[in-house]
Amino acid sequence: MAKPQIFREFNEESEFKGAEGVWYWSRLLTRRAGLFRPVVMGMEIKKLNLMNFDRAAMAAWFQARGEKPFRAQQLLKWIHQQGVVDFDAMTNLSKALREDLKAVAEIHGLTVVADQNSSDGSRKWLFELADGNRIESVYIPEAERATLCISSQVGCALNCSFCSTARQGFNRNLSTAEIIGQLWTVNRLLGGTDSRPISNVVFMGMGEPLLNFDNVIRATHLMQDDFAYALSKRRVTLSTAGVVPGLQQLADVTDISLALSLHAADDELRSKLVPLNRKYAIHEVLQACKNYVGEGRRRLTVEYVMLDGVNDSDKQARALAQLLRHVPSKLNLIPFNPFPATMYRRSSPERIESFRDILHRSGIVTITRKTRGDDIDAACGQLAGDFKDRTRRRERFAAEATGGLS
């Protein structure tokens, strides 16, 4: 007989697949022994958080257990639109199904450990995950919309030299439930207040979303699903440092908007700012982005952090204009947001303006991003979270900062 799946290790990442085993054993035990909780050899099994499922995965899960696939639509509406976490309140499900679900599954968002308000109206939350790691999300209200900037990983493995998250190192990928949980939880926190409801989501918080491909894509499916958040493809943006294999797969699974963190027009400089460039050079990354956005189907957003004396000269502006000439794109200039012990400075407003003018004159739509939430360290690149760094990068930075004397 095959080894029961129940003996798999249950952590956030395996929880999704482990649900198979949990469901099987819980059905067996509830039927044969009259037990209502899945207990094996005296050990209680971790329940599956239903926030890990997008509609397709949830429909397959129900179907495999002899339930109608449309149960997925009902569940998604309860969870994501009504914010209901109690199965007993799900009145359009039979009592038997509710009991089954209660035995093996649960619904929970994230635990808030800090909530900071910026003088400009933006707000940052620090969330604690089940394993004690902490991540951040930022809410940015504007006149016509409100954007939630979310994290895709605990920390980031890419080590971009101008980013504060990079300094913190990396711990692990977030599960789908932890990604969509940021939107779910903030929606609940804003509900009943006069804050503008979230209309846009950007993957510009901690982490590289394309290095957590499956979990991020499942979360974007929920964001776009009419039975969940019903956001249009223009209102969900994935920002990447240029992971080419991920970019190549993207068009098969989604049509959301894409942003590329470019930051330099030549490979030598870009490799210093974004070390991933040593693996995937500019021309290869831009080609993969072009293939995704397609002929006039949509436009790539190109992000370019303005670093004083590093990438902000007129010559570099002309090189950038040349590079983007054949890419359907719009350019976002991001004034650098400083953090402790960084070696970079923000370009002056005059420098940013003349850089922008050169691009404008070359026919590239260019805007300078307004810095939001910098008084609460919530601006681009300032999210730090709180977690155990598996890369020991934090220690190395501290040693460098003290000249190796620490």
Instruction: Tell me if 136 contacts ligand SAH by CB under 6 A.
Output: no
Which sign, positive or negative, has the C-alpha torsion 259, 264, 270, 275?
negative
Instruction: Tell me if 163 contacts ligand SAH by CB under 6 A.
Output: yes
**Catalytic residue status for 136:** yes
Is 102 or 369 the residue whose CB approaches ligand SAH more closely?
Answer: 369
Instruction: Tell me if 239 contacts ligand SAH by CB under 6 A.
Output: yes
Q: Which alpha helices (H) appear in 80-229, and where do they start and end?
A: 95-104, 164-168, 176-190, 213-224
Least distance (Å) between residue 140 CB and ligand SAH: 13
Name the catalytic one among 15, 136, 178, 303.
Answer: 136
Instruction: Tell me if 240 contacts ligand SAH by CB under 6 A.
Output: yes
Instruction: Tell me if 204 contacts ligand SAH by CB under 6 A.
Output: yes
Least distance (Å) between residue 50 CB and ligand SAH: 27
For residue 4, what is the DSSP state?
P
**Catalytic residue status for 380:** yes
Q: CA 237 to CA 31: how far, in whole Å?
A: 46
Helix (H, G, I), strand (E, B) or coil at 355: helix
Is 52 or 261 the residue whose CB approaches ligand SAH more closely?
Answer: 261
Element (H, E) at 98: helix 95-104
Q: From residue 60, give the alpha-carbon distance in Å to each of 56, 64, 67, 139, 224.
A: 6, 6, 9, 34, 19
Is 59 or 163 the residue whose CB approaches ligand SAH more closely?
Answer: 163
Least distance (Å) between residue 87 CB and ligand SAH: 36
Is 286 or 305 the residue whose CB approaches ligand SAH more closely?
Answer: 305
Which region, left, alpha or beta, applies to residue 381 given φ > 0 means left and ψ of -120 to 50 means alpha?
A: left
Structure tokens at 52: 């890990």
Cβ proximity of 157 and 174 under 8 Å: no
Instruction: Tell me if 219 contacts ligand SAH by CB under 6 A.
Output: no
Burial class from Cβ neighbours inside 10 Å (0-12, 13-18, 19+) for residue 149 reads buried
Question: Residue 205 is which amino acid?
Answer: G
- Residue numbers 319-348 binding ligand SAH by CB under 6 A: 334, 336-337
Structure tokens at 387: 């977690």
Least distance (Å) between residue 168 CB and ligand SAH: 12
Q: Kindly write out the interface string for residues 357-386 of this chain, putting x where it contacts ligand SAH by CB under 6 A and - elsewhere.
A: -----------------------xx-----
Instruction: Tell me if 184 contacts ligand SAH by CB under 6 A.
Output: no
Least distance (Å) between residue 273 CB and ligand SAH: 9
Is 18 or 209 the residue whose CB approaches ligand SAH more closely?
Answer: 209
Is 86 or 214 the residue whose CB approaches ligand SAH more closely?
Answer: 214
Q: Kindly write out the interface string for residues 242-261 of this chain, putting x where it contacts ligand SAH by CB under 6 A and - elsewhere.
A: -------------------x
Which sign, positive or negative, has the C-alpha torsion 107, 110, 111, 115?
negative
User: What angle, rounded to 10 degrees, do the helices at 176-190 and 213-224 form?
Assistant: 40
Least distance (Å) between residue 373 CB and ligand SAH: 12
Name the catalytic one among 149, 160, 289, 380.
Answer: 380
Instruction: Tell me if 229 contacts ligand SAH by CB under 6 A.
Output: no
Residues 6+ apart with CB under 8 A from 3: none
Among the listed residues 48, 302, 305, 327, the single contact to ligand SAH using CB under 6 A: 305
Least distance (Å) between residue 208 CB and ligand SAH: 4
Q: CA 326 to CA 145: how far, in whole Å?
A: 30
Q: CA 326 to CA 386: how far, in whole Å?
A: 41
Cβ proximity of 174 and 207 under 8 Å: yes
Mind telling me the catalytic residues?
136, 380
Positions touching ligand SAH (CB under 6 A) are 162-164, 204, 208, 239-241, 261, 303, 305, 334, 336-337, 380-381
